Amino acid sequence: MTEPSAERRARFEAVYREHYGAVWAYARRRVVGAADADDVAAQTWLTVWRRLDDLPAGRELPWCYGVARRCVANHRRGDDRRMRLVRVVASERERDAIRDTDPRADHLHRALDRLREDDRELLRIAAWERLDHADIARSLGITPNAVALRLHRARRRLAAALKEADVTGHTPGTASPTTTPKRPGTTPKRMAT
């Protein structure tokens, strides 16, 4: 790689010194943390260096903001991809852990997959994390009454999804997904859905 010309380097350094703070602040106001702002600013200045010949004289800062805007968008898309991957991996781990302990888990997961993400998360928090309505409300930023209503609706939708998937039947010797296990001398009760 050839050494950059002294004139090119001097121009970049002058623009960098003058506008670094403004570009970083632009990024910081648009991303979650300072480390992300550092990443966006670094990507912005790399692009400015590569496209220095396109940098308009006297209009450097607005042009740098345009580059930073695209870098923020790329950063967000990267975050979205990473979060989708994290959710997929976490979901697979949950499924594997449950499949190992309950043969009906595949049926349940197929039915859960038919629900909206907010219903799935609410049902998971209630069943797997064993939080009460007040704690669920705190974690979701809603009222306990809203939790009760949403949980009731999510359970109804899950029951419908189980029925639609034709998984409401159960293996002999196991409890039905919508009934509580039978204790000696009692009759099974329907669970609230």
For the segment 77-108, what is each residue's pLDDT rounded down to a tens digit?
877 777 777 777 776 666 655 555 665 667 77
Backbone angles phi and psi of 5, in degrees to 5: -65, 150
Does 1 map to a domain? Answer: no
Higher pLDDT, 1 or 106: 106
For the segment 25-43, what is each residue's pLDDT rounded down to a tens digit?
999 988 888 999 999 999 9
Number of domains the chain is built from = 2
Give the residue from 81, 112, 130 where a domain finishes. Answer: 81
Question: 75 and 11, same structural domain?
Answer: yes
Give the residue from 81, 114, 135 where a domain finishes. Answer: 81
Domain that holds residue 123: 103-164
pTM here is: 0.43
Q: Compute CA 31 distance to the chain's CA centroid, rounded to the nearest angstrom.
A: 15
- Check if the beta carbon of residue 30 is closer than 8 Å to that of residue 72: yes
Cα angle at 53 between 60 and 21, to 5 degrees? Answer: 30
Residue 178 has pLDDT above 50, yes or no: no
Does 92 map to a domain? Answer: no
Question: 108 and 51, same structural domain?
Answer: no
